Every structure is written in C-alpha cells, then in structure tokens.
A and B are shown apart, each in its own frame.
Chain A
Amino acid sequence: MKTRALSRPVCVIAVACLASPLLCPGRVEAQAHRTVLTIHAGAESFPSNPILDSSVREALLSHVNAPIDYFAEYLKSDSFALEDASEALADYIRRKYLGRRIDLVIATTSQALKFVIDYRGGLFPGVPVVFSTVAVPEAISRSADRAFTGVTVGAAYAQTLRAAIHMHPSTERVFVVANGPDRDVVETVRAALRGVSSQVRLTYLDEPTVARLLEAVRLVPPRSVIFYIWQAQPEPGNLVYPDQVARLVAQAAPVPVYGTSDLYMGLGIVGGVMRRTFETGTRLGELGSLILNGARPADLPIEKARLVPTFDWRQIQRWGIDASLLPPGSDVQFRVPTVWEAYRAYAIGTLFVVTAQLLLIAALLTQRTRRQRAEQTLVAREATLRTSYEKIRQLAGQLINAQEAARGDLARDLHDGLCQRLAEVSMDIGRLKRSPAHHQDAQTQDTLSKIQGDTREMYEEIRRLSHELHPATLQLLGLAPALEAHCVEVARRHAVQVSFTADGDLAGVRPDVAVCLFRIAQESLRNGIVHGAARRLTVSLARTGGEVELTVTDDGRGFDLEAVRSGGRGLGLVSIEERAHAFGGHVHIATELEQGTTIRVRGLAVGRPDDIALD
C-alpha cells in the first residue's frame, strides 16, 4: 500500500515532463547549486575588485540556469609576502570550503592565477579555471591540462604614450610614473615605452613615497606630460592605492596627466588607451557560465581584452586639447554639455521671452508715440475748440445784443408807427362821433363805436407785442420799476404770487446789463411757472458797490440740472447763461427735483469794461 502511494506523484511528474518540456527546464542535476570561487590578488577594497566581483556575478546570474553560490577570496599579496599569503589563503580555503564542491575558479591577476595553479591539486582538483592576466603564464601554455581559459588584459603603454604626444605636439618631455616592488613588471613597462618616440625625452619618477612623488610632479616643467601608470611602492603605515595616487598626481601636476587604467578615469587624468575593468569581469563571468553550462574550457580560446582610447572631456577642455587629435574611435567620457547644450531650452525660452518683450516694448512705444500724437492733436483741437467756443460765446453775446437791438427797433416801429397811427385813428373816430348832427344817428354811432373798439383792440394787441419784444418801460423807468411791473404782470397773467424786492442804486445799472438782467428774470419766471408749476416766486435785485445781483426763486418742481444740460434741453438755461456771459456775469443755479429752483446772476453793474461783444 505504502509503495503504491509514494509512486503516484513521481508518475505524475514523469507524465508532466513528457507532456510538456516547458514544465521541466533542465535536467535534475542542473538544478543543483553551483559554487564559484574568485581569487583576487589585492585586498577586497582594491578598486578593481568590487567592479570585477559585481560584473562576474551579474554575468553568471544572467547566463547560468542553476542557482549560484558566489564567493571571493583575497590573497592580499600587495601587503604580504606572496609565499606566506598564498599558504595562509590555501589553508584558509581548505578549512572554509571543507565539504563544499567548487565548480569553477576565477583568478584575476597573474599572482592569483599562480596561487590557483600552485594549489589547485590540493584545493580544487580538476576544477576548471577562468583567469584574467596581463599575459598567459608559461605554466598554462605549456601544460597539457586543458582546464584553463581566460582573458589577457594587456596594457597599452606605447599606444597611450603615442596618443599623448600626438595630442600635445609641442611636448618635449614625458615623466613616467611606473613604480612598484616588482622590478620585472616595471621593466616590462620601460621596455614597452623604449623607442616609442625620438621626439620626447622620457624621465622615470622613481620616488619611494607618494609625498616625494607629488613634490617631483609639482616641479615638472612646461611642455611636458606625465604618464602615470602606477605608483605601487608599499609604504608602511600609508596604504594608498594606485587610483588614489592618480588623483593626487593629477591634482599636483602643472601639465596634463595620462594613464592606462580605467580606474583612473574621472580622477583628473586626461585619459589613455585602456581596457574596461567591467568588461573584463563580464567576460570572465560569461566564460564561466559557458563552462558551468557544460562547455569544455579547452574549446574556449583565450581572448584578448578590448583596448579603447578613453578620454575625459573635462580634461580635454581644461588643457585646451584639439579634439581632432584624439585617436580614432576614442570614447570621450564625462562630456559636460556646453552652456548652449545645457541651457538651450532656457536660452530659447529666454530669447523667446525677450523677443516677445521687445516686441511688446516696441508696440507700447509705438502706441505711446501714437497716443502722444493723438494727445497733441487733442490739445490742439481743444485749443481750437476753446477758441471756437469763446468766439461762439462772443457771437452769442453779440447775437443777444443784436437781437435785443432788433427787437427794440421792431418794438419802436410798432409803437411809434402803428400804435401812434391807431391812436390817431381812434382819436379821429372819437372826434367824428361828436361832430355835427348828420352823423349822429344811432346806426352811425354804433358803427363808429365798433370801429373805435376794434382800433383799441388792435392797438392793445400791437402794444402788447411791442412790449414783449422790448419793454420800453425799461428805458423809461429803469430796471427795478420795469422788473417790478413785469412781476405784477406775470402774477396777474398766470395767477401766481410774485414778490419783488430791490435794494441799492439800481438806476445806475448800464442799459445793456439791465436788459440782460431783465431778460434773465423774465426767462427764470417763465421757466419756473411753465416748467416747474411754481406758485410762489420771488425776484430780488440788489446792487452792492459795482456789482448787481439778481435772484429769482420759485417753489416749483425743480429739475435735474445735469440731466437737462446733458440732455441738450434747457434752451432757457442756455439763454440765461449766455445773457449773463454777455455782460460778464456769472450764473449760479441751485435746484433739485421737488425742491424748487434758485437762479442767481451776479456781475458788474456797468458790464465788462473790455467787452468787445458790446461794441
């Protein structure tokens, strides 16, 4: 029973795998953990190591189907004697990885590879090795063991030097920093640079300490470049990595500094022909992945890392280097956008805004000019208008006087002509009525009486007309009596109450002023009664000194002065004002709806002395 029960899920899986390969991505073995161990020569903090670790791991993860255990160990041969460090690390690994099968070993640098070769038999027998070194060690190239593959990461010393000299054509001297405890390596560099150029003189700055090196760097003469490869002299108590030294050298140097490691990029060097540490790590990971996925190392040829001329755009700018002198295919990093590139949007925006503002300003200026011109025109027209207005007022004054004169003439003609004649007729009829007997029959008497009555009516009619045209009493009696008589007449004719007062020497008021005042009083009374339905009115005349004042008050409906003025109505008001103006007087009108009206005119009793309107 038990056996049957256990076998059922296995059968299900087997069937599922047969049915769909997608559900079973690999063999059962491929699912087991794979362990990869990387051996670095330097300490964990050595600048290239974290880059290599991360790029190797990333490549492994993306190319290997199985779960990966990744470990890195550090020989630290830069700080300790290689033999001792190697032995200690071997012992450490043996204990640490006891019972753990290592599937792949990666060695970065020749020292790490030497360690792996030396201890492989004991530590990782038969395990494939992927390495990155400057050159393929003889131990590998001659060995029959085909478990090794990797990448050689040669440095482009000569190319970098050539490029530097090319980019600085006036260079006379090149100061080379290639200083380390391993004299073989130093000699490799010197050999590579030897004979590169007959144009420049090479000087090696073999200073035992960084401080001394920087002193030497500061004294480098003009028309030189510094070629910093590495300063790797161990200094007790002063652990400085080559990239840090690169930064210090670049800071201290009065001339451009070149280098061959991408780790120095961005630290102040101009650049050089160099490999990419990240690329090396990635390639190591990829080779490792192929092996973990089943490839044989022997089938994977040893590769050469790509060398790329790489430059720092900021340093190119700083040293004024002609960009056309850069080697073809150069990778220019840290390109800072030009002001134009960086602020193009702002610049265009600003330009747009400024242009818009300029246009606006121009438009406003144009508008202002136009407005000023319009204002000038306006002022000129206003002056013309004022002149015209003055002329019109003068004319109005003259017109009023002319009208008064004409009316006076007409009144006189009617009065002295027609009225006199009618008076004569009337008198003749009267005499006829009393003449001898043959006219004295009743019918003749009736007819004569009727003719006399008609004559009297005609006479009265004409006399009234004449009086209205021009009050002859004004000349005969003077202003106050004439006005008083007029008040009486108005009161009688309209059945209203009109009171009159006079004060001061009104007999001396000049005739034309008297006519104006009389007419104003006449008009005011008429307005008050006809338009204001006034029942009680008062007229007062007063002379004080050289001035005469006429006041006409009524208890009528009053009116909206502004409305009447702006409405173009109130011809009576206009005539009052014009008449007052004609003799240099001023009119004050106080009125409100339902509040009655007071019209006050004040002016010189003898008129304007220079009044040409009265000429």
Chain B
Amino acid sequence: MRNATVLIADDHPSLLSGLVSLLEEKFEVVGAVVNGHLLVEAAARLRPDVVVTDISMPGLNGLEALAQLKAARSDIKVVVLTMYADGALAAEAIRAGASGFVVKVSAADELETAIDEVLQGRVYLSPDVPRDAVHSL
C-alpha cells in the first residue's frame, strides 16, 4: 500500500520544515507551501490525499483556501493545523469542510493520528479544543 500523499501549508518556514520532517516518516509529503493561494494551486496540481493547512496565512487564509479546495475537489481531506485551541474556530473549520482540527503545539503527538483518522473517513478534533462550541454542530 502506497503512503498517503500530503500537502502542507504554513507561512512559518521553520515550522513548515519541522512539519515536513515530522510527516515524512509516515506519509509522502508531496509539497509544502507558505500561503493559501499557493496551496489551492498546488492542490490542484498535485492532487494530494490530505491537505494540512494553517489558518492564519497572508493573502488567502486557511479557511478561505479550505472552501476553495472543497469546492474544487469534494473528496479531498483537510486537516486544519492552527495555533488556536478555539472551539468556534474548530466548528467553523469543520463546517467549512475540514475533517481534522489539530492545535500546533500538539502536532508532534496528534497530527499523524489525525491524518490517519481523516483518511479513514472520520473526523479528528484535537482534545485541546473546548467542546462547548463544537457541540453545537
């Protein structure tokens, strides 16, 4: 079984390289971009199984890019990797089509699991996120 292909987007280059190193162990990282526009463009070109994207990015932000990605390819799995352990944000991201929501500080522990989960067709929500707002979904 081939490794799942992953496309990563984050505007912090050092973090981005850390993520690449982290995910390379288990997945095939097909690309790493630094903003939303590049993400949309790369996703269309590389057709990854999973997209891992930050939310706060210059130009097109993660949520906006997410909407475009899902519009272009509804079966694409997106894991939102963000600084904010925010229920509302998580709810908003999942409402917009994301399948996973991971807080960056927990990336090392959770990101692999999250990708695995979404590839299984499930939703992964980081335990760091308060549940209140998400329950409204």
Contacts and interface: CB of A to CB of B under 8 A. Distances in A.
Contacts of A459: 105
B105 A476 contact: no
Contacts of B72: none
A492 interface: yes
Question: Which bucket holds chain A's interface residue count?
Answer: 20 to 34
A489 B91 CA distance: 14
A495 to B, nearest CB: 13
A58 B108 CA distance: 150
Given A456-B106, A481-B92, A485-B133, A463 B87 contact: no
Interface stretch (B1-9, B10-18, B29-37, B39-47): B10-18
B18 A428 contact: yes
Contacts of B133: 484-485, 488
A427 B15 CA distance: 9
A147 B30 CA distance: 181
Interface string B68-87: 00000000000000011111
Interface in A393-452: 415-416, 419-420, 422-424, 426-431, 433-434, 452
Given A430-B107, A456-B106, A476 B19 contact: no
A357 interface: no
A29 B53 CA distance: 163
A69 interface: no
Contacts of A467: 84, 86
Greatest chain B CB density within 10 A among A426, A427, A434, A472 is at A427
B60 interface: no
Contacts of B15: 420, 423-424, 427
Contacts of A426: 104-108
Contacts of B87: 485, 488
A415 B84 CA distance: 9
Interface residues of B, number: 30
B83 A419 contact: yes
Could you tell me the dominant secondary structure of chain B's interface residues? helix
Could you tell me the dominant secondary structure of chain A's interface residues? helix
Nearest to B88: A485
Contact of A481 (B56, B61, B88, B130): B88
Nearest to B95: A481
Contact of B22 (A427, A455, A460, A476): A427
Contacts of B105: 419, 422-423, 426, 455-456, 459-460
Contacts of B21: 431
Nearest to B25: A434
A424 B12 CA distance: 10
Contacts of B22: 427, 430-431
Contacts of B84: 463, 467, 472-473, 476
Contacts of B56: 415-416, 472, 476
Nearest to A458: B105
Contact of A427 (B19, B25, B86, B92): B19
Contacts of A476: 55-56, 61, 63, 84, 89, 92
A430 B108 contact: yes
Contacts of B12: 416, 420, 424
B102 to A, nearest CB: 11
Interface string A481-496: 1101100110110000
Contacts of B14: 420, 424
A455 B105 CA distance: 8
B80 to A, nearest CB: 11
A460 B85 contact: yes
B106 A415 contact: no
A364 interface: no
Greatest chain B CB density within 10 A among A460, A476, A481 is at A476
A477 B18 contact: no
A423 B107 contact: yes
Given A415-B83, A456-B105, A456-B106, A488 B132 contact: yes
17 contacts: A416-B12, A419-B83, A420-B15, A423-B105, A426-B107, A426-B108, A427-B108, A434-B25, A472-B56, A472-B84, A473-B86, A473-B89, A476-B89, A481-B92, A484-B88, A485-B88, A492-B130
In the A-B complex, the 3 residue pairs with the closest CB atoms:
A430-B108, A485-B88, A423-B104
Interface of A: 415-416, 419-420, 422-424, 426-431, 433-434, 452, 455-456, 459-460, 463, 467, 472-473, 476-477, 481-482, 484-485, 488-489, 491-492
Given A423-B15, A430-B108, 13 more contacts: A419-B104, A420-B15, A426-B107, A427-B15, A427-B104, A430-B22, A433-B108, A455-B105, A463-B84, A473-B84, A476-B61, A488-B88, A489-B130
